[in-house]
Amino acid sequence: MGKDSSQPHPRPRRPRGSLTPERILDAAEGLAERGFGAVSMRAVAGRLDAAPMALYNHFGTREQLVEALLDRVLGRFSPDPPTEDWAEDLRGFARGHRRLLREHPWAVAPLFAKPIPGPSAQRIGGHALAILERGGHTGDRAIAAFSGLIALNYGWSSFTVGSDLDARDGYGSDEHYELVLGALVDGLGRRIQDRPVSGRMRAD
Protein backbone atom coordinates (compact mmCIF):
# COMPACT_ATOMS: atom_id res chain seq x y z
CA MET A 1 0.00 0.00 0.00
CA GLY A 2 1.48 3.36 -1.04
CA LYS A 3 2.14 6.25 1.33
CA ASP A 4 -0.49 8.94 1.71
CA SER A 5 1.20 11.98 0.15
CA SER A 6 -1.55 14.25 1.44
CA GLN A 7 -0.23 14.03 4.99
CA PRO A 8 2.26 16.73 6.05
CA HIS A 9 5.84 15.52 6.26
CA PRO A 10 7.44 15.81 9.69
CA ARG A 11 10.27 18.33 10.02
CA PRO A 12 13.58 16.47 9.82
CA ARG A 13 15.57 16.74 13.01
CA ARG A 14 18.78 18.72 12.89
CA PRO A 15 21.86 16.84 14.07
CA ARG A 16 22.58 17.49 17.73
CA GLY A 17 25.09 20.30 18.15
CA SER A 18 24.64 21.67 14.63
CA LEU A 19 22.78 24.75 15.88
CA THR A 20 25.47 27.05 17.27
CA PRO A 21 25.28 30.67 18.50
CA GLU A 22 27.19 31.79 15.40
CA ARG A 23 24.77 30.08 13.03
CA ILE A 24 21.85 31.61 14.88
CA LEU A 25 23.41 35.07 14.68
CA ASP A 26 24.13 34.58 10.97
CA ALA A 27 20.46 33.86 10.41
CA ALA A 28 19.35 36.76 12.60
CA GLU A 29 21.61 39.18 10.73
CA GLY A 30 20.28 37.98 7.41
CA LEU A 31 16.78 38.83 8.60
CA ALA A 32 17.87 42.15 10.09
CA GLU A 33 19.28 43.28 6.76
CA ARG A 34 15.76 43.03 5.35
CA GLY A 35 14.33 45.01 8.25
CA PHE A 36 15.16 44.84 11.94
CA GLY A 37 11.54 44.38 12.90
CA ALA A 38 11.60 40.99 11.18
CA VAL A 39 13.98 39.56 13.77
CA SER A 40 12.07 37.20 16.04
CA MET A 41 12.91 33.85 17.56
CA ARG A 42 10.34 32.16 15.33
CA ALA A 43 11.58 33.86 12.16
CA VAL A 44 15.21 33.01 12.93
CA ALA A 45 14.26 29.41 13.65
CA GLY A 46 12.37 29.23 10.37
CA ARG A 47 15.40 30.50 8.48
CA LEU A 48 17.43 27.71 10.08
CA ASP A 49 14.74 25.08 9.55
CA ALA A 50 14.76 24.48 13.29
CA ALA A 51 12.20 24.47 16.07
CA PRO A 52 11.97 27.84 17.88
CA MET A 53 12.62 26.15 21.22
CA ALA A 54 16.04 25.04 19.95
CA LEU A 55 17.18 28.67 19.92
CA TYR A 56 16.45 29.07 23.62
CA ASN A 57 19.28 26.68 24.42
CA HIS A 58 21.62 29.48 23.32
CA PHE A 59 19.63 32.71 23.84
CA GLY A 60 17.10 32.78 26.64
CA THR A 61 15.07 35.66 25.17
CA ARG A 62 14.79 37.69 22.00
CA GLU A 63 16.42 40.57 23.86
CA GLN A 64 19.48 38.44 24.55
CA LEU A 65 19.64 37.49 20.88
CA VAL A 66 19.39 41.13 19.82
CA GLU A 67 22.07 42.20 22.30
CA ALA A 68 24.41 39.51 20.98
CA LEU A 69 23.67 40.55 17.40
CA LEU A 70 24.38 44.23 18.09
CA ASP A 71 27.53 43.38 20.02
CA ARG A 72 28.64 41.28 17.06
CA VAL A 73 28.31 44.32 14.79
CA LEU A 74 30.29 46.54 17.17
CA GLY A 75 32.91 43.81 17.40
CA ARG A 76 33.75 44.52 13.76
CA PHE A 77 35.10 47.95 14.67
CA SER A 78 38.79 47.99 13.81
CA PRO A 79 40.68 51.05 15.08
CA ASP A 80 43.62 52.50 13.19
CA PRO A 81 47.08 52.25 14.77
CA PRO A 82 47.78 55.22 17.06
CA THR A 83 49.88 58.13 15.90
CA GLU A 84 51.54 60.99 17.77
CA ASP A 85 48.57 63.26 17.01
CA TRP A 86 45.78 62.47 19.46
CA ALA A 87 43.34 64.87 17.74
CA GLU A 88 43.79 63.18 14.37
CA ASP A 89 43.44 59.78 16.07
CA LEU A 90 40.16 60.96 17.58
CA ARG A 91 38.93 62.04 14.16
CA GLY A 92 39.96 58.64 12.81
CA PHE A 93 38.07 56.91 15.60
CA ALA A 94 34.91 58.89 14.84
CA ARG A 95 35.17 58.21 11.11
CA GLY A 96 35.72 54.49 11.69
CA HIS A 97 32.74 54.26 14.04
CA ARG A 98 30.53 56.15 11.59
CA ARG A 99 31.71 53.90 8.76
CA LEU A 100 30.69 50.85 10.80
CA LEU A 101 27.20 52.28 11.23
CA ARG A 102 26.97 53.10 7.54
CA GLU A 103 27.91 49.50 6.66
CA HIS A 104 25.13 48.20 8.95
CA PRO A 105 22.24 50.66 8.45
CA TRP A 106 19.73 48.26 9.99
CA ALA A 107 21.64 48.45 13.29
CA VAL A 108 21.56 52.24 13.66
CA ALA A 109 18.14 52.52 15.31
CA PRO A 110 18.52 49.61 17.77
CA LEU A 111 22.04 50.72 18.70
CA PHE A 112 20.78 54.27 19.22
CA ALA A 113 18.22 52.85 21.65
CA LYS A 114 20.77 50.52 23.31
CA PRO A 115 24.28 51.86 22.64
CA ILE A 116 26.04 49.49 25.07
CA PRO A 117 24.75 46.00 24.25
CA GLY A 118 27.87 44.13 25.38
CA PRO A 119 31.66 43.95 25.73
CA SER A 120 32.40 45.20 22.21
CA ALA A 121 30.80 48.55 23.02
CA GLN A 122 32.93 48.77 26.15
CA ARG A 123 36.04 48.05 24.10
CA ILE A 124 35.14 50.84 21.68
CA GLY A 125 34.57 53.22 24.57
CA GLY A 126 37.88 52.27 26.17
CA HIS A 127 39.70 52.93 22.92
CA ALA A 128 38.19 56.40 22.56
CA LEU A 129 38.82 57.31 26.20
CA ALA A 130 42.47 56.29 25.83
CA ILE A 131 42.82 58.70 22.90
CA LEU A 132 41.16 61.47 24.88
CA GLU A 133 43.44 60.84 27.84
CA ARG A 134 46.44 61.35 25.57
CA GLY A 135 44.94 64.73 24.72
CA GLY A 136 44.62 65.68 28.38
CA HIS A 137 40.94 64.84 28.82
CA THR A 138 40.12 62.61 31.77
CA GLY A 139 37.20 61.89 34.07
CA ASP A 140 33.90 63.59 33.36
CA ARG A 141 35.48 65.75 30.65
CA ALA A 142 36.54 62.64 28.69
CA ILE A 143 33.16 60.96 29.14
CA ALA A 144 31.39 64.12 27.92
CA ALA A 145 33.64 64.31 24.86
CA PHE A 146 33.14 60.65 24.03
CA SER A 147 29.38 61.00 24.47
CA GLY A 148 29.40 63.94 22.08
CA LEU A 149 31.22 61.99 19.39
CA ILE A 150 28.93 59.00 19.72
CA ALA A 151 25.84 61.23 19.70
CA LEU A 152 27.12 62.92 16.54
CA ASN A 153 27.59 59.59 14.79
CA TYR A 154 24.28 58.04 15.81
CA GLY A 155 22.41 61.24 15.11
CA TRP A 156 24.08 61.75 11.73
CA SER A 157 23.55 58.13 10.74
CA SER A 158 19.91 58.20 11.82
CA PHE A 159 19.47 61.40 9.83
CA THR A 160 20.85 59.99 6.59
CA VAL A 161 20.18 56.24 6.68
CA GLY A 162 17.65 55.06 4.14
CA SER A 163 17.46 58.45 2.43
CA ASP A 164 19.06 60.31 -0.46
CA LEU A 165 20.21 63.25 1.64
CA ASP A 166 23.88 62.69 0.77
CA ALA A 167 23.12 63.46 -2.87
CA ARG A 168 21.01 66.55 -2.25
CA ASP A 169 23.22 69.65 -2.50
CA GLY A 170 25.63 68.21 0.06
CA TYR A 171 22.94 68.06 2.75
CA GLY A 172 24.06 65.47 5.29
CA SER A 173 27.17 64.81 3.20
CA ASP A 174 30.62 63.60 4.23
CA GLU A 175 31.87 67.16 3.76
CA HIS A 176 29.32 68.50 6.23
CA TYR A 177 30.14 65.70 8.65
CA GLU A 178 33.85 66.59 8.52
CA LEU A 179 32.98 70.22 9.21
CA VAL A 180 31.07 69.34 12.38
CA LEU A 181 33.57 66.71 13.51
CA GLY A 182 36.44 69.13 13.02
CA ALA A 183 34.70 71.81 15.07
CA LEU A 184 34.11 69.34 17.90
CA VAL A 185 37.67 68.01 17.99
CA ASP A 186 39.23 71.47 17.56
CA GLY A 187 37.06 72.69 20.42
CA LEU A 188 38.40 69.94 22.66
CA GLY A 189 41.93 71.02 21.79
CA ARG A 190 41.21 74.63 22.67
CA ARG A 191 39.71 73.64 26.03
CA ILE A 192 43.01 72.00 26.93
CA GLN A 193 45.02 75.07 25.88
CA ASP A 194 42.76 77.40 27.85
CA ARG A 195 42.67 75.30 31.01
CA PRO A 196 43.35 77.48 34.07
CA VAL A 197 46.78 77.09 35.68
CA SER A 198 47.13 78.16 39.34
CA GLY A 199 43.90 80.15 39.18
CA ARG A 200 44.81 82.04 36.00
CA MET A 201 44.19 81.47 32.32
CA ARG A 202 47.29 80.18 30.57
CA ALA A 203 48.69 82.69 28.10
CA ASP A 204 49.94 81.23 24.81
Q: How far apart are CA 97 and CA 201, in angstroms?
A: 35
Residue 160: per-residue pLDDT: 81
Residue 193: per-residue pLDDT: 60
User: In terms of domains, do 104 and 167 share one?
Assistant: yes
Q: Which domain holds residue 54?
A: 21-60
| Residue length of the chain | 204
In a domain? residue 169? yes
User: In terms of domains, do 95 and 126 share one?
Assistant: yes
> pLDDT by residue (tens digit) across 8-67?
444 555 555 579 999 999 999 999 999 999 999 999 999 999 999 999 999 999 999 999
In a domain? residue 158? yes
In a domain? residue 6? no
pTM above 0.75, yes or no: yes
In a domain? residue 11? no
Interaxial angle between packed helices 174-193 and 86-103, expressed in degrees from 0 to 180 and rounded to the nearest 10: 150
User: In terms of domains, do 95 and 165 share one?
Assistant: yes
Say whether pLDDT at 176 is over 50: yes
Q: How far apart are CA 45 and CA 144, in angstroms?
A: 41
